[in-house]
Structure 1
Amino acid sequence: MNIKSLLLGSAAALVAVSGARAADAVVMAEPEPVDYVRVCDVYGKGFYYIPGTETCLSVGGYVRFQVNVAGDPIINFEGDDYQVASRVRARLNFDAREETELGTLRAFARLQATNTGGANNGVNIDQAYIQLGGLLMGYRDTLWSSGIGGLEDGLLTDTDLVVGDINTNQVSYTFAAGGFSATIGAEDDGTGDVVPDVHAKLVYSGAWGGAYISGVYDETFNREDLNSVTLNGVAINLFGAYPTRLQDGDNDAFALKGGVLLKDLIAPKSQLKIEGHYAFDPTIYAGITGINSVTSISASQFTTGGVPITLEWAAGAGYAQAFGKLGLAVSGQYGETFDVSLLNRRTGITTIDSGEYYAGVLNVGYQITNNFATLGEVSYKNVDFGGPVGETDQVSGFLRFQRNF
């Protein structure tokens, strides 16, 4: 065998081996394209599918800068009869939804942190709840003060003069048909016993606006053997050396509230809201915001001069009007408090007749650009008990800049 024949034979063998190996080669499949950002339009704007699931998620919130002003009887560190402080808040809303054979399954969580005058107040859970169809379980505004069926309670201004504006742990069920919805709920009142507060609410809403009626049974509020109480997470601070107790009522209470909202009645892009309540006994759900400080503007304090502001009845109205990027809103409220007793361990009990209460709020807002707006507010509150407590009034307000996302 010569060299030429050897080379040709080797080449043929190599070709044969290479052909056999080529027939056995593994062919890698092309990766399937993954759509990591799919819009979910089932629940409105802002929802996206979580990759690999049928769950839709929306993440939103705002960052807010605000300057608060609270007038007399508040005193600042320099002895002036007012307070001014800046306030920054960041809020995140997480909303996850999907459809099941039992209805829409939803989880909602709201986290926020507030910094007032350089003091960080920390991150807190403002709301967190689960919904499956009409069933709701979790922590949020009490049914007494929350909006149902698209109808928000309050009187249309930012400080909307809500009666009993608190959050609770709760379980409720809502049945909805057409524009009607009916809700029954049980809420943890923080007393430690097994009996909850019970709420019921009936709402009708349509293109013209809506109407509602709401009732609450408060299992306990008036404890004459205590100098202070904490209910639904709200501390009711009594009158220091002169502990306060409400004259009327016993260890349970019942209250009713109703309202109507009319849209575009007076002019296009307008809203008119009328609302009122009557409490048969003193209850935390009839408590209203008392004197403001720069850290408590738009938050409930329930006391004026140490006396709880608990309204036996109140009625109010609010009107809001939009003019393009400019918005105006005004609201007012009038009511009467329950009788109050001041207990002095040396002199005994002094009974104070019911007091008069009225308040007014004015808002002016402007949409600077998309998702960025400013809002200014001025409010006035007056409570007159007469007697040893007397009259207390206050002017307060704020200027706000807010970026929504």
Structure 2
Amino acid sequence: MNLKSLLLGSAAALVAMTGARAADAVVVAEPEPVDYVRVCDVYGKGFYYIPGTETCLSVGGYVRFQYNVAGDPARNLEGDDYQAGSSVRARLNFDAREETELGTLRAFARVQAQNNTIAQPDSSLGASYVMDQAYVQLGGLLVGYRDSLWTSGVGGLEDGLLTDSDLVVGDFNTNQVSYTFAVNGFSATLGLEDDRTGDIVPDVHAKLVYSGAWGGAYLSAVYDETYNPVNANGITNTIAINGVPISIVGTFPTLLRDGNNDAFALKGGVLLKNLIAADSQLKIEGHYAFDPTVYAGITAINTVSTLSSNQLTNAGVPIILEWAAGAGYAQKFGKVGLAIAGQYGKTFDSRLVTPINGVTFIGQGEYWAAVGNVGYAITNNFAALGEVSYKNVDFGGPVGDVDQVAGFLRLQRNF
């Protein structure tokens, strides 16, 4: 073999090796598609698995614009004296659930921001940013902050008379712990709630509910360990009706002086679906309070801010009802919904409070209210609602009666 042959052979071998390597070049495979968000259909629509976990999460809420009109309580509601103002609310609901060996573990939180133009920007009824609800459930155990068991919907049956101003007595939130036993549409709940008085004894609640395809029924009972009308729930001991100050007979501090400072109340209701026509609901409910209690309180006269917040606060005129009964009816016609409700009751005995004459017995006040609304589904998840209400409380004698016409127009986008 000479030098020329050796060089030619080496060159040929090098070309062959290069060709072989080119044919065996590494090809990077494209990543396989991964379901980063998986639908969780265990708990209904809107739930997704949190990536890398078996926890299902649902995020929803709404954005609402509302224009409110109400007779002005500061002007004794005479003639054409009305307040008017707008409000905007944004609400987010977070619902996380997963299955454990002890049952469903759930955490629910609701955060809400609202602006009412009629009130001071930093007041509780003006610009507000709040944790409206937050609680944890494990099986039948619930701990956290939400609507009082007195008004919350256990077993899928909500309190209220089917209109937006649903005339619920004792409508406020509390810190609470409860346990619910549920089977075949029946549920029984026992709960303890912080009454925010600082006393070591909590309020005690019990609720029985039955719900089915036809509707449902419920019975609630509450033992209010201390009725303190100046507590954080917003009920004052003395209120002014037509400029005349009155107070409820037997309430704080009278009850504290004689040692009898507790209260007991009962409430019940029945819901009937499709009884009169398809897509209809008929609701009847009422309560009786054996003693004055914040759980029997209702905002009888609103301001435009309380219409927006739907809370039992000092901004309106709170009334403590010994008993009340009412009914509501709701009917859907395609995209249109109609609802009406009425309520009648009696307040607890009251006293006239004056600096000169001292305390004078008045007696019970007569209360009644009526509400009507019309809603329209403009498109999917976007609707309009208009509502008008009338409330009247008549104490007779030197106090007389006070009444109010109020209403709102609302546009709301749900998601």
Q: Which residue of 1 aligns with 2:269?
A: 259
Q: Which amino acid aligns with 2:343?
A: Q
Q: TM-score by structure 1 length? A: 0.88
User: Does residue 365 of structure 2 align to residue 361 of structure 1?
Assistant: no
> Secondary structure in 2 aligned to 1:195?
coil
* Structure 1 residues 304 and 63, CA gap change in structure 2 (3 angstroms): closer
Provide the rounded CA distance (Å) in 2 between the counterparts of 1:236 and 1:138: 26
* Structure 1 residues 80 and 221, CA gap change in structure 2 (3 angstroms): same
Deviation of residue 387 (structure 1)? 2.7
> Secondary structure in 2 aligned to 1:221?
coil
> Secondary structure in 1 aligned to 2:149?
coil
Query: Unpaired segments of 5 or more residues in structure 2?
Result: none
Deviation of residue 87 (structure 1)? 1.2
Residues 387-396 or 281-290, more deviating: 387-396
> Secondary structure in 1 aligned to 2:307?
coil
Q: What per-residue deviation string (whole Å, max 9, x for no partner) do you get for residues 244-281 of structure 1? A: 35336641100000010001111111110000100000
Deviation of residue 51 (structure 1)? 0.9
Q: Which residue of 1 aligns with 2:156?
A: 150
Q: Which residue of 1 aligns with 2:143?
A: 137
Q: What per-residue deviation string (whole Å, max 9, x for no partner) do you get for residues 49-100 of structure 1? A: 1111111111111111111000143559xx9610111111111111111111
Provide the rounded CA distance (Å) in 1 between the counterparts of 2:12 and 2:221: 96
Q: Which of 267, 270, 276 does residue 286 from structure 2 map onto?
A: 276
Provide the rounded CA distance (Å) in 2 between the counterparts of 1:243 and 1:210: 39
Q: Which residue of 2 aligns with 1:56?
A: 56
Q: Which residue of 2 aligns with 1:385?
A: 395
Counterparts of 1:206-285 in structure 2, within 5 Å, are 206-222=212-228, 229-231=230-232, 233-234=233-234, 236=236, 238-239=238-239, 244-247=247-250, 250-285=260-295
* Structure 1 residues 64 and 369, CA gap change in structure 2 (3 angstroms): same
Deviation of residue 304 (structure 1)? 9.7
> Secondary structure in 1 aligned to 2:198?
coil
Identity %: 71
Counterparts of 1:42-191 in structure 2, within 5 Å, are 42-75=42-75, 81-117=81-117, 119=121, 121-191=127-197
Contact 1:57–1:95 (8 Å) recurs in 2: yes
Query: Unpaired segments of 5 or more residues in structure 1?
Result: 223-227
Provide the rounded CA distance (Å) in 1 between the counterparts of 2:235 and 2:368: 23
Provide the rounded CA distance (Å) in 2 between the counterparts of 1:93 and 1:363: 26
Deviation of residue 38 (structure 1)? 1.1
Q: Which amino acid aligns with 1:56?
A: C
Q: What per-residue deviation string (whole Å, max 9, x for no partner) do you get for residues 163-219 of structure 1? A: 100100111110000010000000110011211111000000011000010000001
* Structure 1 residues 302 and 17, CA gap change in structure 2 (3 angstroms): closer
Deviation of residue 8 (structure 1)? 5.1
> Secondary structure in 1 aligned to 2:114?
strand
> Secondary structure in 2 aligned to 1:51?
coil
Deviation of residue 229 (structure 1)? 1.1
What RMSD in Å do the two structures reach over aligned CA positions?
2.9
Provide the rounded CA distance (Å) in 1 between the counterparts of 2:276 and 2:114: 38
Deviation of residue 354 (structure 1)? 1.0
Q: Which of 190, 200, 205 does residue 206 from structure 2 map onto?
A: 200
Provide the rounded CA distance (Å) in 2 between the counterparts of 1:242 and 1:392: 13
Contact 2:303–2:315 (8 Å) recurs in 1: no
Q: Which amino acid aligns with 2:287?
A: H
Provide the rounded CA distance (Å) in 2 between the counterparts of 1:209 and 1:245: 37
Contact 1:74–1:82 (8 Å) recurs in 2: no
Contact 1:236–1:302 (8 Å) recurs in 2: no
* Structure 1 residues 18 and 193, CA gap change in structure 2 (3 angstroms): farther
Provide the rounded CA distance (Å) in 2 between the counterparts of 1:366 and 1:160: 19
Q: TM-score by structure 2 length? A: 0.86
Contact 1:245–1:343 (8 Å) recurs in 2: no
Q: Which amino acid aligns with 1:103?
A: G
Residues 276-285 or 110-119, more deviating: 110-119
Provide the rounded CA distance (Å) in 2 between the counterparts of 1:11 and 1:26: 24
> Secondary structure in 2 aligned to 1:85?
strand
